[in-house]
């Protein structure tokens, strides 16, 4: 594993040394691929542009991140930013210097394993029961593994401790990026997607658009704009208390479920209702 970690450190050091002028671009890409931004920004945009691809995006992100989390807990996957501070791999030679940023202090999983799921077509036909059972199954299996490893004396919050020890600034370490927070956030997102796709609100808005010949481009544009505004306001207004333990994870689950539910069902229903009312008023 030391060879793997050292190659990661070397690659990071090379990029930071030779492409420092592109630092803003790399940070932007990192922020865009962060799952929180994926669910709050990319998913709403993609859903109102290409619904099937947006649904696949959520499934791939949730299940892939869950697999990554299991591997992290079982294989103790480390981050190069922390490993380089503790390893004796370099001996008497000087270790590479790599710069830290707020996103490098995240304590959740960091390996991407999801390509096979992206090729599965059954996810587009999943019923509400499948969404609920899958969400609960992912959550239950992860918590069961967590409890078993805890009983075996394994500290699964070691990544949080390392982040607090080695991150350049303590305020960069957030409980919102911890493994358990990621687990509840992802499970909630999948649950909310299932509730949204199979809710009467989503069915009504879809049927209204088809039956009344609502202009597709205008409808999607209004839905997209309204969704982004509502989600940003919701995200700013509702922040689960980080010092409340189990309550934080429960509220994180509910908040995450609200995001796809709002995108898929609530906003489209409100938009179709408003457009219907305006049309009837004009007539």
Mean pLDDT by 10 residues, the chain (283 residues): 63 65 62 75 91 89 87 72 65 66 55 51 80 94 91 76 68 69 92 95 83 70 94 91 82 94 95 71 47
pLDDT at residue 44, as a whole number: 93
- pTM of this structure: 0.78
In a domain, 160, yes or no: yes
In a domain? residue 93: no
Tell me, what's the pLDDT at 242?
74
**R_g over Cα of the chain:** 22
**Is residue 86 assigned to a domain?**
no
Q: How far apart are CA 224 and CA 202, in angstroms?
A: 15
| Cα separation, 77 vs 159, whole angstroms | 9
CA–centroid distance for 36 within its chain = 4
The boundaries of the domain holding residue 68 are 35-74+127-282
Neighbours of 160 (CB within 10 A): 19
Which residues are within 8 A (CB) of 189 and not within 5 positions of it... i.e. 6 or more apart?
Answer: 39, 58, 61, 62, 256, 257, 259, 260
In a domain, 97, yes or no: no
Domain count, the chain: 1
Is 82 inside any structural domain? no
The pLDDT of residue 196 is 95
CA distance 256 to 39: 8
What pLDDT is attached to residue 213? Answer: 57
pLDDT at 260 (0 to 100)? 96
Residue 96 lies in a domain: no
Which two tokens mark 101? 């940023």
pLDDT of res. 154: 79
Residue 252 lies in a domain: yes
Q: Does residue 197 lie within any of the structural domains?
A: yes
């Amino acid at each position: 594993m030391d060879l793997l970690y050292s190659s990661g450190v070397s690659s990071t050091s090379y990029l930071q040394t030779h492409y420092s002028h592109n630092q803003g671009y790399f940070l932007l890409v990192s922020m865009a691929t962060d799952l929180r931004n994926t669910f709050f920004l990319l998913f709403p945009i993609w859903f109102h542009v290409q619904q099937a691809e947006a649904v696949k995006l959520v499934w791939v992100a949730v299940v892939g991140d869950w697999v990554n989390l299991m591997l992290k807990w079982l294989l103790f996957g480390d981050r190069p930013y922390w490993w380089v501070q503790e390893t004796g791999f370099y001996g008497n030679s000087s270790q590479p210097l790599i710069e830290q940023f707020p996103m490098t202090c995240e304590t959740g999983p960091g390996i991407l394993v999801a390509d096979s799921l992206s090729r599965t077509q059954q996810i587009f036909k999943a019923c509400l029961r499948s969404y609920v059972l899958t969400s609960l199954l992912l959550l239950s299996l992860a918590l069961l593994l967590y409890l078993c490893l805890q009983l075996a004396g394994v500290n699964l919050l070691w990544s949080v401790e390392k982040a607090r020890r080695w991150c350049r600034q303590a305020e960069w370490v957030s409980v919102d990026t911890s493994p358990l927070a990621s687990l509840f956030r992802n499970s909630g997102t999948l649950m909310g997607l299932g509730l949204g796709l199979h809710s009467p609100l989503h069915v009504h808005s879809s049927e209204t658009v088809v039956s009344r010949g609502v202009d597709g481009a205008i409808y999607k544009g209004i839905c997209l704009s309204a969704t982004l505004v509502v989600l940003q306001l919701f995200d700013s207004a509702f922040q689960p208390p980080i010092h409340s333990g189990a309550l934080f994870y429960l509220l994180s689950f509910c908040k995450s479920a609200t995001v796809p539910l709002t995108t898929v069902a609530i906003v489209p229903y409100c938009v179709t209702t408003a457009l219907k009312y305006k049309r009837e008023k004009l007539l």
